[in-house]
Amino acid sequence: MEKPRAKILVIDDTKTNIDVLDGILSMDYDIYVALNGEKGISLTEKIHPDLILLDVMMPEMDGYETLRQLHERNILHDTPVIFLTAKADAKSEQTGLDLGAVDYITKPFNPSLVKLRIKNQLDLKFQRDHLNDLVDEKTADIRKTMKVMLTSLGSLAEYRDPETGEHIRRTQVIVQKLAEQLKDHPRFKMFIKSIEYIDYYATAAPLHDIGKVGIHDEILRKPGKLTDSERDIMMLHPKMGYDVLLEATKELNGNPMVRIAADMALGHHEHWDGNGYPNHLKGDQIPVGARMMAVADVYDALVSKRPYKDPYPHEVAVKEIINGRGTQFDPDVVDAFMKIAPELPEIYEKFNDREKAS
Domain check: are 231 and 97 in the same one?
A: no
Q: Do residues 171 and 249 share a domain?
A: yes
pLDDT confidence of residue 201: 94
Report how far apart the first and last C-alpha atoms of the chain are (Å, whole number). Answer: 46
pLDDT at 162: 54
Cis peptide, bond prior to residue 108, ω within 30 of zero: yes
Structural domain contains residue 141: no
Answer yes or no: is 147 within a domain: no
Residues 282 and 337 in one domain: yes
The pLDDT assigned to 235 comes to 93
Q: How far from the centroid of its chain's Cα atoms is residue 192's Cα?
A: 7
Q: What is the CATH number for 65?
A: 3.40.50.2300
* Number of domains making up the chain: 2
| Residue 309 belongs to some domain of the structure | yes
292 in a structural domain: yes
Same domain, 101 and 167: no
Domain-located, residue 323: yes
pLDDT at residue 189, rounded to an integer:
92
- Specify the pLDDT at position 108: 85
Whether 276 and 180 map to the same domain: the answer is yes
pLDDT at 150: 64
Mean pLDDT of all residues belonging to the chain: 86
Claim to verify: residue 176 and residue 281 sit in the same structural domain:
yes
Q: Which amino acid is at 125?
A: K
Cβ atoms of residues 252 and 261 within 8 Å: no
CB neighbour list of residue 225: distance below 8 Å, 6 or more residues apart: 308
* Same structural domain, 231 and 341: yes
Q: What is the mean pLDDT of each run of 10 residues along the chain (358 residues)?
A: 82 91 91 93 93 90 91 88 79 77 85 89 86 70 60 61 67 94 95 92 88 83 84 92 80 74 94 96 96 96 81 95 97 97 91 59
Residue 227 in domain:
yes
The reply to whether 127 and 164 lie within a common domain is no
- Among 178, 140, 131, 171, which Cα is nearest to 154's? 171
> Looking at the structure, do residues 38 and 121 belong to the same domain, yes or no?
yes
Return the pLDDT at 186. 94
Q: What is the dihedral of CA 213, 218, 221, 227, to 10 degrees?
A: -110
User: What is the residue range of 344's domain?
Assistant: 155-357
Q: What is the pLDDT of residue 305?
A: 79
pLDDT of residue 60: 86
What is the value of pTM for the model shown?
0.61
Listed residues 132, 147, 178: the one ending a domain: 132
Torsion sign over Cα 38, 41, 45, 50:
positive
- pLDDT tens, 87-118? 766 777 777 778 878 888 888 888 888 899 89
Residue 95 lies in a domain: yes
Task: Give the CATH number, domain containing residue 339.
Answer: 1.10.3210.10
**26 and 61 housed in the same domain:** yes
Residue 140 lies in a domain: no
Shared-domain flag, residues 324 and 244: yes
The pLDDT of residue 155: 62
**198 and 340 fall within a common domain:** yes
